[in-house]
Amino acid sequence: MTGVHGSDVMVTWQRSMEFLATLACAIFAGAAIYINAVEHPARISCGTELAATQWAPSYQRATWMQAPLAVLGFVSAVVAWLAGSSAWWLVGGSLLGLVVPFTLAAIMPTNRRLLSPDLDQRSEEAGQLLQRWNRLHGVRTMLSVVALVIFLLNA
C-alpha cells in the first residue's frame, strides 16, 4: 500500500461510488421487477376494485423507497465517472436517473387519476388505468435493469 495520496483517495472514492451506484440500482431494479412480475399481477387477480384500493398505499410506500434509490444511484454513478470511471458509468447512471423524469412526465397522470377520489374503483376505467400503470412501470423496470447490467459489466 502506498499510503493516502491524492490518486489513492480518488481511486477509493471512485470505487466507493461505483459500489454505491450498483447497490442502489440493484435494489431499485429488484423492487421494480418484483412489482411488475409479482405484486401487480397478484393485485389484479383480486379484481379491479380491490386492486385499485390496494394500489394507492402500495404506490405511496414504494415511492419513498424507489425515488431515493434512483437519485442515489444516478448521483453515485456520475460521481464515479467524474472520479475516473469509464463513460459507461455515466450511461448507466443516466438510464437509472431517467426513471425520475419518466415517472413525472409519463406515469404521473395515470397515478393522479388512480388516486382521484372521483374514480369508480370498480369501473372499466380503473382496470384500464391499472394495466396502463403496469406497462409504464415496466419501462422503469427495463431502464433500471439495463443500468444494472451496465454497472455489473463495468465493475
pLDDT tens by residue, 63-117:
999 999 999 999 999 999 999 999 999 999 999 999 999 999 999 999 999 999 9
pTM of this prediction? Answer: 0.92
Count of domains observed in the chain: 1
How many whole angstroms separate alpha carbon 15 and alpha carbon 127?
A: 45
Average of per-residue pLDDT values in the chain: 95
Q: ∠ CA(42), CA(48), CA(28), 5° rounding?
A: 45
- 99 lies in a domain? yes
What sign results for the dihedral spanned by CA atoms 150, 144, 29, 139? negative
Q: Does the residue 21 lie in any domain?
A: yes
* Cα–Cα distance list, 75 to 66, 69, 113 (Å): 14, 10, 31
**In a domain? residue 69:** yes
Query: Is residue 6 very low, low, confident or very high in pLDDT (cuts 50, 70, 90)?
Result: low
pLDDT-above-90 percentage for the chain:
92
* Residue 86 structural domain: 6-154
Question: How far apart (Å, rounded) are the C-alpha atoms in residues 99 and 47?
Answer: 28
92 and 151 in contact (C-beta within 8 Å)? yes
Classify residue 1: in a domain, yes or no.
Answer: no
Residue 71's CB is within 10 A of a number of other CB atoms, namely 15
The residue to which cell 418484483 is assigned? 34
